[in-house]
Structure formats: structure tokens, C-alpha cells
Amino acid sequence: MVPAANPNSPRRHGDTEVATAPDHEDLAILGGKPVRETMLPYGRQSVSEADVAAVVEVLRSDWLTTGPKVGEFEEAFAAAVGAKFAVSFSSGTGALHGAAFTAGLGPGDEAVTTPMTFCATANCVLYQGGTPVFADVSSDTLNLDPDRVKEKISPRTKTILPVDYAGHAADLGALMGIAEQHGLIVIEDASHALGGEYQGRRVGSLAHMTTFSLHPVKHLTTGEGGMVTTDRADFAETLRRFRNHGISSEARQRQSAGQWHYDMVLLGMNYRLPDINCALGLSQLPRLGANLARRRAIAATYASRLAGLPGLILPSTRVGVSLAWHLYPVRLDPAKISAGRDEVFRALRAENIGVNVHYIPVHLHPYYQDRFGYRGGEFPVAEAAYAGLISLPMFHAMSDQDVEDVIHAVGKVLEHYER
Ligand SMILES: Cc1ncc(COP(=O)(O)O)c(C=O)c1O
């Protein structure tokens, strides 16, 4: 659905309608009236009355954790992404840790991954005593560049760990090819890409293991939560054990079998996703298609109405990829506007548009600099992108007026700073 144009906001340049502000509008950061009265967040959950009822039903039941809702949610999730197995975790971070464990990552092993991600992607390698080895990204998608990955493969490499940045699937065809050639396991961090597609296949069915986050800003939520999908039964079994202290059976199975004995067979964690949360996810799952459709419609509106604004580079989509649009990251071209990213960021926030930045490249965080000696300059494509990145609000519950407000504010701010 394309929102109705705000009569104050867009005007026509030649044949193209672009978002601009009336000339007299002062920026809010300079004392003018903000585009909105209240802050629009960059991401937000939507919870229906049916979701609330589903959670309440579990609260009144016998099982608050590891009861029947866990298996039901996992089965429905696996079917939704076209994988044989789905194993739930208490967060996307736990899911990544479980996948790193299951891939057999250990001390001395390396995982080639992207610097353009949330730190949890690389941290899971450290949890296992391995070393994350960063490779630079492609400048169009900001996803791992397979040519840079090839340069980083060593005899110690065990895993390739791509991220589907913003919901655009990584170049899985090329990465799975490299993995096959070197006998590696691919863990796809699809925290941004639930519902995305690559070459006609669903994200979640492409890599050896795919991890998801079910945090409230994602396509569906369990509050906190995560999932790993895989087609390998042995991986699914290890993942289930790892999230439950390394124990080979679950309390409910023992209760129904009238047994008390259990074996701890590996060193696991408690990463269980409670029934309360699984009930929420199960209730939300049927809306995934509608949520994606809304996100795609918002992205299409942004793309058509923001095109042509000074200094604005819009996200690109490769042929054969259907994006899940977790984020809508735009980049600023410093040659065309007189303000840097941080100033534009502050100006948009002053208009009450809750922009964000995704991401500080992981190797630039103090922990990684102190531990591995990174100083900046190692991954020029990721670092150059970061300098201009701003995420515009993108969530399925955005109203048409919210979308208009973003378009209005971005036009107002960029026209002000146009060189
Ligand atoms: C790319 C990526 N990986 C991992 C995570 C961690 O997920 P969680 O917050 O569910 O632990 C996130 C969180 O947003 C993420 O964006």
C-alpha cells in the first residue's frame, strides 16, 4: 500500500516526485517545529489480543517452560522456513552459540565472518574459544564478499559465518561453494532475514545451520528468543542438548516415562526458550507473511519517494533476492551534503524520527581492538559505509502517516544540508 502524499511534503522535479520540504521550514535542531510531536522508533513489536490470550493460556497451564508449546512452535517455524528441524533458544545470541558449538568450533579454530554486524555474531566464536577472522563486505549489500572470504581461508578455518545484513540474504551460493571446497560448515546469521529468499529458496533452508533472533524489533517476536534451523538430524540433536545443560532428555519426557534418571553428555548451557515465549511466537507466526508484505511496501515507498534526494544512497537489492527488510539503512554521500552522518542523525532525531546506526564494525569495538590489535583501516568497504550509515524507521506496525513523516523529515534535513 503506497501512502497518500503529504501535500506539504513532496514536490515534483521534472518527472520525478521527490520528498522535499517547503522552503520556509526550519530544522527542529535549529529551533524549528519538528515534523512529529512524538518520537517514532526505528523498530517496534506488534502484539495482538490473540497473542495476549495465547500467553495467558500458558500462564494458567502446567508448563511454563519446556512444555508442549516449544515443540509446536519449533515445528511451525521449521515449516515456515522450509527446514527439516528448528531448535529454539532463549535469544539469537544463544542460537549463535549453540550453532558454533554444534559446528565443532573450538580453541585454535577460525570462523570467517563479517565486520558489518551486531557484535553477537563474532562473539559466539569467542565463547567457543575460537577466533573470528573478519573479511570485508561488498559495497552494494554490505554482506560478506566471497572473494575476500577466499583470501581468509586457512588450515584452521572451520566455519564461514555470514550475516544477511538488513534482511538481504548473503551470497549463499558462492559461500556454500567455498565451504564445500574446503570442508567447512556455514552458519548463516539470519537474525535480519526471517521470510527472506535467495534464488527462489527460503532463508533458513540454505546453509548448514541458520540462526534467527526473535527480539521485539524483528519480523516476529517471542520477547527475547532465537532459533536455529537445519536439515541435519545430528545437528538438531546436539543443539537440543546444548541448550539444556548438555542433558540428553527433557524433564517432560522423563515425567511422562515415569523416570527420574538423566545423563549429561556434553557441556551445555541453559538457553531454553520458555513455553510462555513460544506461545507468543506461535501466535505471531501466521502474521509473518503480512508483516513481510507491509515491510516490503514501506521499502518500496521509501525507494520511490526518497530517490533523487541530495546525498542519499538507497539500499540495493541483487537479482534473485527477496529482502525481509529488518532495517532500512541509507548511506550519506559526503560529496553532496555539507553535514556528516552524526549531524544528520541529530537533525533527524530532533524532528522526532528515531533513526539509528547499524553497525559500528565489530573490529572497531574497544574489546576487539584491545584483544586483536585492530586500529581501523583493515576493512575499508565496511568502514567507509559505516561513516555514512543511518537506519530509517522500519517495522510492520508503522502507519502510513509514520512513513510520510519519515519521508518529510529526510527531505527537510537533506535539502537543508545540500551543497
Ligand atoms: C545480526 C545479529 N546477530 C545476532 C543478534 C543477537 O540476537 P539477540 O538480541 O536475540 O540475542 C542480533 C540482534 O539484533 C543481530 O542483529
> How do residues 352-364 score in pLDDT, each as one tens digit?
999 999 999 999 9
Atom of ligand 1 at shortest distance to CA of 213? 10
Atom of ligand 1 at shortest distance to CA of 163? 1
The amino acid present at 418, given as its one-letter code, is E
3-state secondary structure of 385: helix
Binding site membership of 189 for ligand 1 (Cβ less than 6 Å): yes
Cβ atoms of residues 82 and 96 within 8 Å: no
Query: What pLDDT is recorded for position 253?
Result: 78
Beta bridge partners of 213: 226
Distance 324 CA to ligand 1 centre (A): 15
User: What is the overall mean pLDDT for the chain?
Assistant: 94
Contacts of 120 (CB under 8 A, 6+ apart): 92, 93, 96
Cβ atoms of residues 246 and 69 within 8 Å: no
pLDDT tens-digit map of 173-211: 999 999 999 999 999 999 999 999 999 999 999 999 999
Per 3-state DSSP, the chain is made up of helix, strand and coil in percentages (nearest 5) of 40, 15, 45
Give whole-number Cα distances, 78 to 91, 235, 337, 398, in Å: 17, 14, 46, 28
Query: What pLDDT is recorded for position 109?
Result: 98
The residue ranking higher by pLDDT, 256 or 8, is 256
Please, where are the H alpha helices in 192-287? Answer: 233-242, 251-257, 275-284
Cβ atoms of residues 362 and 135 within 8 Å: no
Binding site membership of 118 for ligand 1 (Cβ less than 6 Å): yes
pTM over 0.85: yes
Query: What pLDDT is recorded for position 135?
Result: 98
